[in-house]
Amino acid sequence: MSKNRFHFFSWLASRINSSIDRLFINYSFLVAVAFLFIWMLVIMLEMTGDWLHIGRIVQFVVLVGIIFFLSSKFGKTRYGVYFTVILSVIASIVGYYLLSPFIDHTESIFFLATIAISARWGTKPGLTTSILSTLALFFIMTNTGMNNVTASVLTNGGFLIFSALIVGSITHQRERSLNDQLVAQQQVQATYSATLMALTQALETRDFETQGHSDRVTSLSLTLAKEMALNSKEIQNVQWGALLHDVGKIGIPDYILHKPGPLNEDEWMVMKKHPEIGYAMLKDIPFLQPALDIVHYHHERFDGKGYPQSLKGKDIPLAARIFSIVDSFDAMTSDRPYRKKMSKVEALTEIRKCSGSQFDPEIVKIFIKTISA
């Protein structure tokens, strides 16, 4: 069994992992910054209408945005987390001095920094942020001559540490949950792989030419799909369909399947049933739905003269239109018991000749360009 048959699974896992990372970390943080900016702006306009104050808010939000940008660049390096922690505390100090003249309880900025760091990187960085923030508050309150400095620092410091512990714990639980989901997804994918392997091996047992053919058409179909810049769902349809396109031949009698010469009319009518046999085999298996377009329609023609349903033009699913070209090209460039293979140039000439009749002309152009490169 070729290793590249199930390359899709590792690709899908990485896509899931990166999507989760973007969804729960980058986008949520950016939305939080935008919400903070709008919220403060509305408050200032409502309270004072003073554009000087609004300017200070804008400066603070820009500073937060810069930290967000730097954290996205350096946050995954060895010391990047603590670099971001220090920047966040510095930004909180600057924000305190910018906003304290006209906003009460400006020390809440330090809570925002602690919560943000804890939510992004967990308890340890969150605790570091809370301790640094407590020290910063101590020096700020001491230098500004505030009363009851010790009590205020102890109160705020306690809440900062408590916030870091709570939010960090939630973050840890969330990460564990995501990891568990990813492991479960990988286990499901392994089951899917085993099912696909069983189906393809069953077909290979019946049809000795299928193994090499399935590998070749799957590889070339994926190359063409990527050249056409298809999305992940469309690529999945192409890959799984290419692997299982002839699975319906399991239901074709051996004397027809292994006949060394051309089929007669009656035998050909039986052979033409294999797309519908394959469709009937797979249609009630939910995870194999992506394969159905190719399994069912890979013998349709662009001019409507194909089988089993005589679909025409763009009514034929895209995956089937792509695969039809690849399948024909591989058949022409492979030896058969009753004929010798064509050269690549001869096969491409035949593909070009059938453009608009048997094949989608737009896909033919891309295919020829891809093969000729």
pLDDT digits (tens, 9 = 90+) for 305-331: 999 999 999 999 999 999 999 999 998
Residue 281 structure tokens: 């085999």
Average pLDDT over residues 155-168: 87
Distance of alpha carbon 115 from alpha carbon 122, whole angstroms: 10
Cis peptide before 125 (omega within 30 of 0): no
Q: Which of 82, 72, 71, 80 is nearest to 131 (CA)?
A: 82
What fold is seen in the domain 207-372?
A: Hypothetical protein af1432 (1.10.3210)
pLDDT value of position 304: 95
CA distance 126 to 218: 48
C-beta separation of 222 from 238 below 8 A: yes
Q: How far is Cα 189 from Cα 10, in angstroms, rounded to an integer? A: 9
pLDDT level of residue 24 (50, 70, 90 thresholds): very low
Q: What is the dihedral of CA 187, 190, 191, 193, to 10 degrees?
A: 160
Overall average pLDDT of the 365-372 stretch = 92
Q: Which residues contact 339 (CB under 8 A, 6 or more apart)?
A: none
Nearest-angstrom CA–CA distance, 306 and 299: 6
- Say how far apart CA 153 and CA 203 lie, in whole Å: 73
Other beta carbons within 10 Å of 78: 8
Map out the domains of the chain as residue ranges: 3-181, 207-372
pLDDT at 41: 59
* pLDDT tier at 55, thresholds 50, 70, 90: low
Confidence band of 17 (pLDDT split at 50, 70, 90): very low
Joined tokens for residue 62: 């820009």
pLDDT at 185: 77
Q: What confidence tens digit (pLDDT) does each residue in 278-294 have?
A: 999 888 888 788 889 99
9-18, 120-129, 210-219, 326-335: which has the highest mean pLDDT? Answer: 326-335
| End-to-end CA gap in the chain | 28
| pLDDT for residue 155 is more than 80 | yes
Torsional class of 287: left (φ above 0), alpha (ψ -120 to 50), beta (otherwise): alpha
Average pLDDT rounded to a whole number, residues 224-229: 93
Task: Summarize pLDDT for 68-100 with one digit per residue, the tens.
Answer: 666 666 656 666 777 778 888 888 888 777 777
More confident residue, 150 or 331: 331
Farthest CA pair distance, the chain: 102
- pLDDT of residue 276 exceeding 90, the answer is yes
Question: What distances in angstroms separate CA 13 from CA 2, 127, 190, 355, one per listed residue?
Answer: 20, 32, 11, 37
